[in-house]
Structure 1
Amino acid sequence: MVYSREALIEAVSTQMPAKRWKHTLGVMESSIQLAEQYGADPERAETAAILHDVAKYWPVERMKEIIEQNHLNLNLLKHDKQLWHSEVGAFVAEQDYGITDPDILNAIRFHTSGREDMSLLEKIVCLADYIEPGRDFPGVDKIRKLAKESLEEGLVAGFDSTISLLLEKRRVIFPLTVLARNDLVRILEDKI
Structure 2
Amino acid sequence: MQHSIFRLLTDHILFTGDLQQDIQSFLTANQCEDIAKHCMEVGNEAKRIALMFGADPGSAEIAGWLHDISAVYPNHERIEVAKQLQIEIYPEEEIFPMIIHQRLSKVMASEIFKIDDQEILDAIGCHTTLRSDATLLDQVLFVADKISWDQNGTPPYLEKLNCNLEVSLTHGAFAYVHFLWTQRENLKVIHPWLREAYEDLKGKVQLV
- Give the alignment's TM-score, normalised by structure 1: 0.87
Matched, 1:115 2:124: no
C-alpha offsets along residues 125-158 of structure 1, whole Å, 9 cap, x if unaligned? 0010111276622121221222233111111110
The amino acid across from 2:171 in the alignment is E
1:18-167 to 2 correspondences below 5 Å: 18-75=33-90, 77-132=93-148, 136-167=154-185
C-alpha offsets along residues 101-139 of structure 1, whole Å, 9 cap, x if unaligned? 111111111000110011111110001011127662212
Q: Is the 8 A contact 2:45 2:148 kept in 1?
A: yes
Uncovered stretches (5+) of structure 1, i.e. residues with no partner: none
| 1-structure distance, mates of 2:187, 2:68 | 26
Matched, 1:4 2:21: no
Q: Is the 8 A contact 1:2 1:98 kept in 2?
A: no
The amino acid across from 1:151 in the alignment is L
| 1-structure distance, mates of 2:66, 2:182 | 27
CA shift at 1:58, angstroms?
1.0
Is the radius of gyration larger for structure 1 or structure 2?
A: 2
Alignment coverage as a number of residue pairs? 190
| 1-structure distance, mates of 2:40, 2:78 | 23
2:201 to 172, 184, 188: 184
Relative distance call for 1:37 and 1:13 in structure 2 (3 A) is: farther
CA shift at 1:61, angstroms?
4.4
Uncovered stretches (5+) of structure 2, i.e. residues with no partner: 1-14
Once structures 1 and 2 are overlaid, which stretch shifts more, 87-96 or 67-76? 67-76
The amino acid across from 1:52 in the alignment is H
CA shift at 1:10, angstroms?
2.7
Partner of 1:171: 188
C-alpha offsets along residues 77-98 of structure 1, whole Å, 9 cap, x if unaligned? 3342121111111011111110
Identity of aligned residues (%): 24
CA shift at 1:31, angstroms?
0.2
Q: Is the 8 A contact 1:49 1:125 kept in 2?
A: yes
